[in-house]
């Protein structure tokens, strides 16, 4: 018998690739952090000798979810200034508090809280955009999750840097000090067209080409953003980024709510990766991303939650349901964004957006064993006719019981295995007292 580290048996295995594949009463064999085989349970019991066997007959196994846009440490600002327009929320509440309070310790605590929440809703990899990415990297290594961390750039002082040159110096130093690997990747993260100058964007485009890095940016999120760009630059934001050399297959364009037909075609033709954040767009009344139109044009679509300060959660299972329902309503087509398509957006689509689809995003032999177990033997998902539909339309994040990243179980029966929740909760409460203080 072939030795393996772990054999996970489940009622259903949904590998995502190839599309439509489903294994009933199957098993996943894992060795050295990677998937060795997917096969029937009986075959697995005679073929493999496992150091650990995990039996989950009422569960479905899916690839780890990829949250392609977060501001992880902003979990500490969750609920602090709700029900406001985007720019009022940023200018009057978020940015002043960030300038006063955000430091490396803030980022460590907020990112730890985010990691616990993401694991408990099935996310095994996230793309981040926030200050002190070096501190976020420490937490990623500590907790065992996977991440693509943004090196942020804006045109004004923040807790990370005071001037454009300091942003470049600090971010490039991080790139040199910590080379990327399959656990932590780096992204260039200019915040948005309204907060980054032409000169900064042009230099970022040059670095992206030279170092083959992805560029993670908020784009076409609100109508105000587009109107301001027309007033200041005499062109729409996407056209401006195109002029500056950024509209290509390295671009992760987040939100993409307000698009013309020509822009949809351009995005698909250039290979731009679109990160759809439906619930944040709803809460901020930003509008509706034409996700079905983008998909029909051939664009790569991924899903993100945005930050917990504007969502207010990091629940990608809930985001899948929202994306499917909104996509159908916007397209006026009940067949648009079917359950399997949305699950693919949240897994393989996110992996493709981050350039990691060679190693994560689907349950395929040779890829890392980033696996999520969803308990479908619960009242909310019974009776069970189609496990994919039940996961997207009916399941809740409380049904995620176990999570593996690179074959290591980071969530066991909903309990994180590498974080002390009691100690973290106390630290979160201390931060909440400080952050609730009135702004002067």
- The three-state DSSP-derived secondary structure of 359-387 is CCCCCCCCCECCEEEEECCCHHHCCCCCH
| One domain, residues 79 and 102 | yes
| One domain, residues 346 and 379 | no
| One domain, residues 245 and 180 | yes
| One domain, residues 115 and 167 | yes
Report if residue 261 sits inside a domain: yes
- Flag whether pLDDT at 440 surpasses 80: no
Asked whether the beta carbons of 320 and 372 are under 8 A apart, the reply is: no
- Flag whether pLDDT at 149 surpasses 80: yes
What are 101-114's pLDDT values in tens digits?
999 999 999 999 99
Buried b (16+ CB within 10 A) or exposed e, 198-217: eebbebbbebbeeeebbbbb
Q: Which residues pair with 148 in a beta bridge?
A: 127, 185
- CATH code of the domain in which 379 resides: 2.30.40.10
- Flag whether pLDDT at 56 surpasses 90: yes
Kindly indicate the confidence band of residue 126, based on its pLDDT and cuts at 50, 70 and 90.
Answer: very high
- Flag whether pLDDT at 130 surpasses 90: yes
Mark residue 242 as left, alpha or beta (left: phi above 0; alpha: psi -120 to 50; beta: remaining): alpha
- Flag whether pLDDT at 279 surpasses 90: yes
- Flag whether pLDDT at 355 surpasses 80: yes
H helix or E strand, kind and range, residue 48: strand 48-63
Closest CA relative to residue 255, chosen from 279, 232, 236: 279
How far, in Å, CA of 359 to CA of 199, rounded? 35
How far, in Å, CA of 274 to CA of 294, rounded? 9
How far, in Å, CA of 97 to CA of 91, rounded? 10
How far, in Å, CA of 56 to CA of 174, rounded? 42
Work out the burial of residue 285: count CB atoms within 10 Å of its CB; fewer than 13 is exposed, 13-18 middle, 19 or more buried: exposed
| One domain, residues 330 and 308 | yes
DSSP symbol at 64 = P
Report if residue 131 sits inside a domain: yes
What are 200-257's pLDDT values in tens digits?
999 999 999 999 999 999 999 999 999 999 999 999 999 999 999 999 999 999 999 9
Residue 279 tokens read as: 């619930």
**What pLDDT score does 164 carry?**
95
Average pLDDT, the chain: 97
**What pLDDT score does 86 carry?**
82
How far, in Å, CA of 176 to CA of 344, rounded? 33
Average pLDDT in the 292-305 region?
A: 98
**What pLDDT score does 9 carry?**
98
- Flag whether pLDDT at 338 surpasses 90: yes
What are 7-20's pLDDT values in tens digits?
999 999 999 999 99
Specify the number of domains making up the chain.
2
| Beta strands in 171-235, from DSSP E residues, in sequence order | 184-190, 214-219
In percent, how much of the chain has pLDDT > 90? 97
Kindly indicate the confidence band of residue 87, based on its pLDDT and cuts at 50, 70 and 90.
Answer: confident
Q: List the domain range (segments joined by +) for residue 325.
A: 65-353
Closest CA relative to residue 241, chosen from 286, 193, 309: 193
Sheet holding 2-13, edge to edge: 34-40, 23-31, 2-13, 48-63, 371-375, 400-405, 408-412, 415-416
- Flag whether pLDDT at 90 surpasses 90: no
**What pLDDT score does 34 carry?**
98
- CATH code of the domain in which 335 resides: 3.20.20.140
| One domain, residues 401 and 299 | no
Task: Give phi and psi for 26, each to the nearest 5.
Answer: -120, -170
**What pLDDT score does 85 carry?**
86
Closest CA relative to residue 111, chosen from 64, 73, 81, 77: 73
| One domain, residues 325 and 336 | yes
| One domain, residues 328 and 394 | no
pTM of the predicted structure, to 2 decimals: 0.97
What are 358-387's pLDDT values in tens digits?
999 999 999 999 999 999 999 999 999 999
Sheet holding 65-70, edge to edge: 65-70, 123-129, 146-153, 184-190, 214-219, 251-255, 273-276, 300-303
Report if residue 12 sits inside a domain: yes
| One domain, residues 50 and 74 | no
Report if residue 423 sits inside a domain: no
| One domain, residues 75 and 58 | no
């Amino acid at each position: 018998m072939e030795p393996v580290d772990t054999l996970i048996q489940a009622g259903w295995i949904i590998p995502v690739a190839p599309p439509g594949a489903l294994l009933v009463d199957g098993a996943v064999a894992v060795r050295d952090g990677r998937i060795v085989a997917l096969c029937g349970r009986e075959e697995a019991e005679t073929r493999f000798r496992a150091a650990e066997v995990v039996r989950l007959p009422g569960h479905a196994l899916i690839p780890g979810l990829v949250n392609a846009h977060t501001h992880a440490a902003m979990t500490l600002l969750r609920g602090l200034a709700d029900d406001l327009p985007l720019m009022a929320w940023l200018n009057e509440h978020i940015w002043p508090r960030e300038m006063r309070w955000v430091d490396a310790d803030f980022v460590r605590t907020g990112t730890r809280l985010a990691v616990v929440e993401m694991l408990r809703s099935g996310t095994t990899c996230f793309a981040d955009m926030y200050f002190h990415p070096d501190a976020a990297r420490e937490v990623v290594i500590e907790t065992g999750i996977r991440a693509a961390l943004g090196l942020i750039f804006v045109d004004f002082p923040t807790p990370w840097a005071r001037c454009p040159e300091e942003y470049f110096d600090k971010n490039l130093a991080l790139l040199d000090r910590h080379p990327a690997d399959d656990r932590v990747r780096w992204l260039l993260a200019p915040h948005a067209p309204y907060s980054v100058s032409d000169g900064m964007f042009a230099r970022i485009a040059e670095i992206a080409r030279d170092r083959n890095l992805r560029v993670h940016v908020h784009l076409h999120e609100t109508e105000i953003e587009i109107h301001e760009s027309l007033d200041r630059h005499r062109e729409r934001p996407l056209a401006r980024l195109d002029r500056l050399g950024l509209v290509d297959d390295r671009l992760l364009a987040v939100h993409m709510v307000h698009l013309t037909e020509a822009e949809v075609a351009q995005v698909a033709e250039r290979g731009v990766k679109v990160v759809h954040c439906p619930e944040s767009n709803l809460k901020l009344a930003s509008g509706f991303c034409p996700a079905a139109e983008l998909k029909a044009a051939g664009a790569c679509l991924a899903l993100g939650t945005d930050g917990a300060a504007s969502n207010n959660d990091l629940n990608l299972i809930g985001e899948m349901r929202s994306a499917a329902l909104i996509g159908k309503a916007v397209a006026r087509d009940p067949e648009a964004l079917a359950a399997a398509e949305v699950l693919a957006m949240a897994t393989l689509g996110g992996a493709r957006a981050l350039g990691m689809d060679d190693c994560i995003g689907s349950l395929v032999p040779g890829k890392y064993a980033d696996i999520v177990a969803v308990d479908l033997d619960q009242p909310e998902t019974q009776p069970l006719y189609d496990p994919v539909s039940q996961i997207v339309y009916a399941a809740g994040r409380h049904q995620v019981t176990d999570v593996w990243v690179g074959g290591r179980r980071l969530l066991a029966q909903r309990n994180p295995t590498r974080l002390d929740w009691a100690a973290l909760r106390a630290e979160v409460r201390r931060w909440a007292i400080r952050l609730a203080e009135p702004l002067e």
